[in-house]
Chain A
Amino acid sequence: MTQTDRTRAHMSQAGTPASELPLLRVTELAKSYGGLPACRDVSFDLWPGEILAVVGESGSGKTTLLKCISALLSCDTGQIEYLMRDGVMRDIHALSEAERRFLMRTDWGFVHQNPREGLRMRVSAGANIAERMIAVGARNYGKIRGAAENWMDRVELDSARLDHQPNTFSGGMQQRLQIARNLVTHPRLVFMDEPTGGLDVSVQARLLDLLRSLVTKLQLSAVLVTHDLAVARLLSHRIMVMQGGEVVETGLTDQVLDDPQHPYSQMLVSSILPV
């Protein structure tokens, strides 16, 4: 890319090497539902390879924030900029619908708490994984099937079940399938909404292992919404604590959990039941 292109794309970033730019920059984001604020004045940077956990109790605005920054919801005010593969920061709400859709099915992944929201339940597991590959131009049936089988393996699903519908899978298997479907296009940024939420503890543990090794191996960046501080400690580098739609504390994961500053963070940390 030439300097002119870069300047045209974003004046303020002219000449800044991509390595010194965050992957995602959120500035003063606000969103309300019918006058009721759900998110207020949220700003943060996410750097490549970083996992940011957003924690807080139900109704604190975590999921609204996640949906706004992943372009699933529009926001009232504020800016969400994303570092495109060509090294330019673009405001995602200023992208055309086609550009945004392309981004969402190639560069981004979204893992929903309920796998039924992220999967097509009436088509085969293999087709669920293949869909995003086809969206980015894969056409060779053999290669697509091979990649789908490979991803079934990587998320520890029996590849013999490639042609089965996700309806016939358990909740934990569906969740792993949803992860495979998201990661097959090698996204750079994954949004996760309580990915282990609806699962029983042993299945949860296995999924956490899998997520932990995948994010490390693939050098993923992620924004992870969870109310479970143990999940945040295991997976994230940084934590953002939300209360009533506002960020009340942010910092390194172990620092926020071991030396929380805000009364609400202290309450959350002290509420963990010891096993």
Chain B
Amino acid sequence: MTGDMSDLKPTAPIIQVRNLHKSFTLHTQGGIKLDVLSSTDLSVAPGDCVALMGPSGAGKSTVLRCLYGNYLPQSGAVLIRHKGRMTNLVGAEPRVVLALRRETLGYVSQFLRVIPRIASIDLVSEPLITLGVEPEAAREKAATLLTRLRIPTRHWDLAPATFSGGEQQRINIARTMVVDYPALLLDEPTASLDADNRQTVIELILEARDRGAAVVGIFHDEEVRDAVCTHRHHVAAPDGNRDAPDTVDSEDRQDLAI
């Protein structure tokens, strides 16, 4: 799963995607097979931000979800630099994926999956506390982010379930940006934000790039995209009629792992 990468240069990629294939077989709907990604390759160096481009339904979110281990690709490799080694998420044990998510890989989903009845500030400081940061220090950093993202202080101790869409999205962003993850995946982070908050999110992404984070994102907003991204990657849905590659058995998956 991991190789000896002690010779990794500081400029070596943090995220590498090789020949990624993803299809969905809908067993509850007559076994229809949908090919969503075929042969996706991607490489993201420290400080780079790759914008995934393509029309709705092209599979941009699917790429991000495969990169986060949320979707299970049929074949290919998703390599993430974790503690100095390139680790393949495809076929990795759950506890490896969990460790990677805890320490290396941050993901801002399109919508906040609300954990009911937990105060916003606790929700935002939680990832730091999980990493062993003292609760007081974690709360302080969470407070800084909530302030920057203009969440009124009186909302900090409330659960975000009743917040507006934009406010929930900012909590979501804060919960990820509170940790200085080396790799960031952003699924339309500014979709429901006003101009001021959009600007704050642009600053947060640029700060992450400055400290050397590798970023992959979907940005529908051109202004945001132009401000943050260094590269563009076009995602194209495979031709629906083309035969997709057969599923690769676990032995082949091992071969793809380095």
Contact = CB atoms under 8 A, between A and B. Distances in A.
A263 interface: yes
A223 to B, nearest CB: 14
Given A209-B116, A252-B69, A50 B95 contact: yes
B94 interface: yes
Contacts of B25: 261
A258 B94 contact: no
B71 A258 contact: yes
A270 B71 contact: no
A134 interface: no
In which size bucket is the chain B interface?
10 to 19
B117 A267 contact: no
Contacts of A255: 69-72
Given A254-B70, A259-B71, A47 B28 contact: no
Contacts of B70: 252, 254-255, 258-259
B185 to A, nearest CB: 14
A262 to B, nearest CB: 8
Contacts of B98: 237, 252
Contacts of A37: none
A25 interface: no
A262 B117 CA distance: 33
Interface string A238-275: 10000000000001101100110111001100100000
Nearest to B73: A259
Given A47-B95, A255-B70, A266 B116 contact: no
A258 B72 CA distance: 10
B24 A259 contact: yes
B5 interface: no
A238 B69 CA distance: 13
Contacts of B69: 252, 255
Interface centre among B65, B71, B94 (most CB of A within 10 A): B94
B117 A252 contact: no
Interface residues of A, number: 21
A203 interface: no
Interface string B92-124: 001101100000000000000001111000000
B242 interface: no
A263 B97 contact: no
A234 interface: yes
A216 B127 CA distance: 12
Nearest to B113: A233
B28 A267 contact: yes
A205 B94 CA distance: 27
Contact of A263 (B28, B65, B118): B28
A251 B72 contact: yes
Contacts of A261: 25, 72
A254 B69 CA distance: 9
Contacts of A237: 94-95, 98
Contacts of A258: 65, 70-71
A201 to B, nearest CB: 11
A259 B27 CA distance: 12
A218 B117 CA distance: 20
Nearest to B72: A259
Interface string A108-133: 00000000000000000000000000
Q: 8 closest A-B pairs (Cβ-Cβ)?
A: A263-B27, A259-B71, A252-B94, A238-B94, A266-B27, A266-B28, A47-B95, A270-B28
15 contacts: A47-B95, A209-B116, A209-B118, A237-B94, A237-B95, A251-B72, A251-B94, A252-B69, A252-B94, A252-B97, A255-B72, A258-B71, A261-B25, A263-B28, A266-B26
Interface of A: 47, 50, 205, 209, 212, 216, 234, 237-238, 251-252, 254-255, 258-259, 261-263, 266-267, 270
